[in-house]
Structure 1
Amino acid sequence: MAAFNLTLSEPSPFILIGIPGLEAAHLWISIPFFTFYIIGLFGNFMLLFAVGKEQTLHKPMYLLLCMLALTDIGMSTSLVPMALCIFWFNLKGITVSGCLTQMFFIHTVSVMQSAVLVTMAFDRYVAICNPLRYATILTNARIAKLGLVGLIRAVLFILPLPLLLSRQPFCANRIIPHTYCEHMAVAKMSCGDITVNRTYGLVIAFVVNGSDLALIALSYVLIITAILRISSKKAHQKALNTCTSHICVMLMSYTPSLFSYLTQRFGQGIASHVHVTFANFYLLVPPMLNPIIYGVKSKELRDKVSKYTCRR
């Protein structure tokens, strides 16, 4: 009876196998994982440090960059330590509660990052279309409130995912062909009906990502319309340059995440290692490149970061 109670209270763990089909190369794959992670941490922490220390950077645009940096750190940290345990030490087991917790954090941070990108698009719209009212429309306090709203939205949308899965019966085969606990990868381990899980996942994709992309697209339509009204070519170039970094970050964030989402549900003909690689790509590479892109495009930020790095 005691053994029976123990079995009920401590369900068997899930097994994350890493990148299926490439197990023999896990040690080599860990090198870019670790390298990208360290570069991303250094770049994002330096951005946070520079903005925190410099009063001249306490502006809405740089506060948004800090929010983006925090989501980047959270996103990569939710993935890389567990992945390196798989690659380096063959530690593939993860408890059900640990798996659901990792899934919650990864998807919550992803939705939060999408909200930050929408706010950044709105920031660029106001800066170009209403430059004289920029300081009154986008105050630091308002940016902080928008960030809090984005966080609350992310938690409310994602929290039902682990709650729904926690009520599912899982099969004896608990091997997940992935490096982390992605929602549908875990849901497919269930022996029960996962129609509600599939439907809710689609709702999140269309309501959250769909609405965010629509708002970003609307912002850029209005921005382009405003730019076309400007007669000076030099002013055209200057206005477009202010948007280039945001467009690059947006493409890096949304393209692989949408590919990963679509292949997980509809891409049965795509090799699993291709899907898993892309699923890792959008959690690992953008956090490394985002601070580099903004550092290159923003001279003011680049100068402040260089001041501290060169001093050290």
Structure 2
Amino acid sequence: MDEALNVSYITLGGYVDMDKYRYVYCVVLYAVFTLILCCNSSIIFLIVKHPNLHEPMYTFIAALLINSVLFSIIIYPKLLIDTFSEKQTVSYAACLFQAVSYYIVAYSEFLLLSAMAYDRYVSICKPLQYAAIMKKTTVNVCLVLAWFVPVCEVTGAVAVNFNMELCNLTLRGIFCNNSLYRLFCVRTEALSVYGMVLLFNLGLLPVLFILFTYGRILLISYQSCREVRVKAAQTCLPHLMVLINFSCFFTFDVCIVRLESNIPKTAHLMMTLQVVLYHPLINPIIYGLKMTEIYKHLRRLFC
């Protein structure tokens, strides 16, 4: 019975001096979690409330901020529970569920950024056809696909992983992600190939599409009048900043399995906290400050 219990529970060994810094972890995580929920929810509320923000661009921004909230809900409650626990453990089933949910949200962010890039391309490069192309139906289809496709592809990994035998019960991290791969007794080629296909379909292809789209926007706006260049800069720069920020965090997450054994524990924790603390906060800050219409409504709301 004890052996079965040990096999079904995984220790999260990524914390540094938990007994010494328990209250520091708790205060920082709770404060950031509250800030994330408030910042993202405020902008979502403004977009829903004000009719002049009921445009495809702002709808996609709201979807992206909802993604940030979902990301935080997947990660933070367990982190806060761990700060009050003597042992930081999680059942294998719960760990697998957290990892799958984490990657569904992560890949859906790439697809949402792709939809936003296409919206900006149509708006700037084909302004006369914008209303006909970016109809409400088109926007809804993009939103459904952005969440539905990752759900279908990522949950396929559950069937492959769920019955895998574990030979190591200590995860070198503070939440469950692709580091789970290191715990398996046998690392199958099929699982590696499936992971590469996921990364290519839901990560690399959207990024290439975004770069191609913004390349076209840059070329056309450079050849156009100053007004078009200003519009392109105002609406495209925030999206590119979000893409660069998120791509850097996701690259770290993908590479961590190969580099994990070579990274000191403290450095590993600090790098992981960059993803947990900064990423969900950067999106509302960028869109709140850089998108003129959202910034105007935020000033009226708080001033």
TM-score over 0.5 (shorter chain): yes
The letter of the residue matching 1:278 is M
The letter of the residue matching 1:292 is I
What residue is the counterpart of 1:284 in the other structure? 277
**Which residue, 252, 259, 281 being the options, matches 2:252?**
259
Matched, 1:239 2:235: no
What residue is the counterpart of 1:176 in the other structure? 171
Identity, in percent, stands at: 22
User: CA offsets, 1:153-176, max 9 Å, x none?
Assistant: 1011111222211110112x4111
Q: CA deviation at 1:283?
A: 4.0
Deviates more, 1:130-139 or 1:82-91: 82-91
User: CA offsets, 1:130-160, max 9 Å, x none?
Assistant: 1222222112221111110111110111112
Matched, 1:192 2:186: yes
What residue is the counterpart of 1:98 in the other structure? 94
The letter of the residue matching 1:82 is K
What residue is the counterpart of 1:59 in the other structure? 55
What residue is the counterpart of 2:9 in the other structure? 13
Distance 1:305 1:252, change over 3 A: same
**Which residue, 215, 221, 225 being the options, matches 1:221?**
215
Report the 3-state secondary structure (helix = DSSP H, G, I; strand = E; otherwise coil) of the residue aligned with 1:14: strand
The letter of the residue matching 2:202 is V
Report the 3-state secondary structure (helix = DSSP H, G, I; strand = E; otherwise coil) of the residue aligned with 2:183: coil
Distance 1:23 1:121, change over 3 A: farther
Question: Residues 60 and 138 of structure 1 are in contact (CA less than 8 Å); yes or no, is this contact kept in structure 2?
Answer: yes
Matched, 1:165 2:169: no
User: CA offsets, 1:236-267, max 9 Å, x none?
Assistant: 23421221111111111111211221232256
Question: Residues 119 and 146 of structure 1 are in contact (CA less than 8 Å); yes or no, is this contact kept in structure 2?
Answer: yes
Instruction: Find the aligned partners of 1:74 and 1:50 in 2 and give their Cα distance.
Output: 19
Instruction: Find the aligned partners of 1:246 and 1:147 in 2 and give their Cα distance.
Output: 17
Deviates more, 1:253-262 or 1:16-25: 16-25
Q: Structure 2: which 5+ residue stretches go unaligned? A: none
Question: Residues 15 and 175 of structure 1 are in contact (CA less than 8 Å); yes or no, is this contact kept in structure 2?
Answer: yes
Q: Across the two proteins, how many residue pairs are aligned to each other?
A: 303
Q: CA deviation at 1:277?
A: 3.4
Q: Structure 1: which 5+ residue stretches go unaligned? A: none
What residue is the counterpart of 1:250 in the other structure? 243
Question: Residues 264 and 275 of structure 1 are in contact (CA less than 8 Å); yes or no, is this contact kept in structure 2?
Answer: no
Report the 3-state secondary structure (helix = DSSP H, G, I; strand = E; otherwise coil) of the residue aligned with 1:178: coil
User: CA offsets, 1:83-102, max 9 Å, x none?
Assistant: 12223434512111111111
What residue is the counterpart of 2:286 in the other structure? 293
Report the 3-state secondary structure (helix = DSSP H, G, I; strand = E; otherwise coil) of the residue aligned with 2:96: helix
TM-score (norm 1): 0.88
Deviates more, 1:133-142 or 1:209-218: 133-142
**Which residue, 177, 200, 207 being the options, matches 1:206?**
200
Q: CA deviation at 1:230?
A: 1.6
User: CA offsets, 1:36-94, max 9 Å, x none?
Assistant: 22111101111121122222211101110111011100111111111122234345121
Report the 3-state secondary structure (helix = DSSP H, G, I; strand = E; otherwise coil) of the residue aligned with 1:89: coil
Report the 3-state secondary structure (helix = DSSP H, G, I; strand = E; otherwise coil) of the residue aligned with 1:188: helix
Instruction: Find the aligned partners of 1:296 and 1:156 in 2 and give their Cα distance.
Output: 35
Instruction: Find the aligned partners of 2:267 and 2:114 in 1 and give their Cα distance.
Output: 29
Question: Residues 14 and 265 of structure 2 are in contact (CA less than 8 Å); yes or no, is this contact kept in structure 1?
Answer: no
Instruction: Find the aligned partners of 1:179 and 1:211 in 2 and give their Cα distance.
Output: 29
CA RMSD of aligned residues (A): 2.4
Question: Residues 99 and 181 of structure 1 are in contact (CA less than 8 Å); yes or no, is this contact kept in structure 2?
Answer: yes
